[in-house]
Amino acid sequence: MTARCVELREIRLPLVTPFRTSFGVQTARRILLVRAEVQREGQVVEGWGECVAPDEPTYSAEYVDGAVLVIREQLAPRLGAVAQAADVASSLVDVKGHPMAKAALEMAVLDAELRADGRSFADLLGATAERIPSGVSVGIHDSIAELERAVAGYLDDGYVRIKLKIEPGWDLEPVAAIRRLIGPDALLQVDANTAYGRDDLDHLCRLDEFGLLLIEQPLPEDDLLGHAALAGASSTPICLDESITSVTTVIDAIDVGACEVANIKAGRVGGYLTAVAIHDACRARDIPVWCGGMLETGIGRSANAALAALDGFTLPGDVSASRRFYARDIITKPIEVVDGHVAVPTGPGFGFELDRQFLDEVTVEVHDLSRNAPGQ
């Protein structure tokens, strides 16, 4: 088999409601998609990957325009033709950083390869669960009353776990209000996206009284020892997101006591294959993991639903319905939450079918990657 990434496509989708985090507000999402082709016995089979890089470099260093450049000028030429998805990461290893861009290329090749084999991603992973519990990430709101309305709506939708975005000035009061609203037994956690500092450890310990599942990434991504200090002081488990960029970083974070729970996002770690390796490393160390989200379309959402079916994913993830973020998805059967769960896709590849007409309607730009092949 030979696989190539042949097309980079930028789409734009409006969000159903603004999504505010400690690092900014999003009202629409530009998303890069990668199309790969594999040749198998004279047939051409197509696969798709999704780059989770946001519009601006405020979650991590990557962003859409940077990803376009690095994929076109650096990654796609190095990739050229590969024999299998498992070779993508090693062929790109000389390029430092850019995990989301690399992950998108690996994803496209993996989807194409699996489709050519008639095999699902869940089958490749050995995941047997038919459905996964679905959690929802709730942005910062202008008032507690608005937040309560939003959370009540998500509970009506069936979500089994609520995650509140927090930042200094929006933490104890909203968390107290939502704990009161949803009752003592409902699953609740918070995510600060690095908004606090080492001077805030005492303040963050005040969250302990709310019975949270975890507090996600309170401190800057490079502050592992700060997270370890907080883990020692707080009864709420510390979960890392932004800090975990590789198998090595997660093992080190666990070893120094900074990571009691891990959020796994394939894009942040350079691809789904590394995401599985991180899952395995956490499982071997009895660290619970859950699947994070990056406002994916149905492409990334389908892949996440399969990843989250692995045994070590013992906490509900941010794998919510397509309509949590988008009125219309680019796949024909949008991801749905039924009875609080998302179905693990069973079709070949990541299991989605593209809505070609809608995809074309939302396409902003198409780049031909085959023209950047080496020697052309």
Measure the CA angle with vertex 88, ends 116 and 104; round to 5°. Answer: 80
Q: Which does 5 bind (CB under 5 to 8 A by kind): Mg ion, ligand NPQ, none?
A: none
d(CA 65, CA 43): 33
Closer residue to Mg ion (CB): 10 or 191: 191
Q: Which residues pair with 134 in a beta bridge?
A: 317
Stretch of 22-30, 50-58, 161-169, 186-194 lying at the interface with Mg ion (CB under 5 A): 186-194
Using CB under 6 A, which of 92, 122, 164, 295 touches ligand NPQ?
A: 295
Q: Which does 293 bind (CB under 5 to 8 A by kind): ligand NPQ, Mg ion, none?
A: ligand NPQ
Closer residue to ligand NPQ (CB): 82 or 204: 204
- Name every residue whose Cβ is closer than 8 Å to that of residue 225 and which is 6 or more positions away in sequence: 256, 258
Distance from the Cα of residue 51 to its chain's centroid: 10
Using CB under 6 A, which of 6, 7, 13, 21 touches ligand NPQ?
A: 21
47 is an interface residue for ligand NPQ by CB under 6 A: no
Are 221 and 259 within 8 A, CB to CB? Answer: no
Q: What residues between 251 and 310 interact with Mg ion by CB under 5 A? A: none
Stretch of 89-97, 218-226, 290-298, 303-311 lying at the interface with ligand NPQ (CB under 6 A): 290-298
Are 97 and 61 within 8 A, CB to CB? Answer: yes
Q: How many residues bind Mg ion (CB under 5 A)?
A: 3
Are 27 and 62 within 8 A, CB to CB? Answer: no
Using CB under 6 A, which of 9, 29, 102, 279 touches ligand NPQ?
A: 29
Give the three-state DSSP class for 311. Answer: coil
322 is an interface residue for ligand NPQ by CB under 6 A: no
Binding track over 211-240 against Mg ion, x by CB under 5 A? -----x------------------------
Count of Cβ atoms closer than 10 Å to residue 98 Cβ: 22
Stretch of 47-55, 100-108, 210-218, 248-256 lying at the interface with Mg ion (CB under 5 A): 210-218
3-state secondary structure 198-266: HHHHHHHHHHHHHCCCCEECCCCCCCHHHHHHHHHHCCCCEEECCCCCCHHHHHHHHHCCCCCEEEECH
Measure the CA angle with vertex 303, ends 302 and 309; round to 5°. Answer: 95
Binding track over 165-204 against ligand NPQ, x by CB under 6 A? --------------------------x-x-----------
Give me the active site residues, please.
165, 265
Are 68 and 34 within 8 A, CB to CB? Answer: no
Closer residue to Mg ion (CB): 216 or 329: 216
d(CA 280, CA 295): 25
Using CB under 6 A, which of 292, 298, 300, 312 touches ligand NPQ?
A: 292
Using CB under 5 A, which of 191, 223, 296, 355 touches Mg ion?
A: 191
What residues line the site for Mg ion (CB under 5 A)? 191, 216, 241
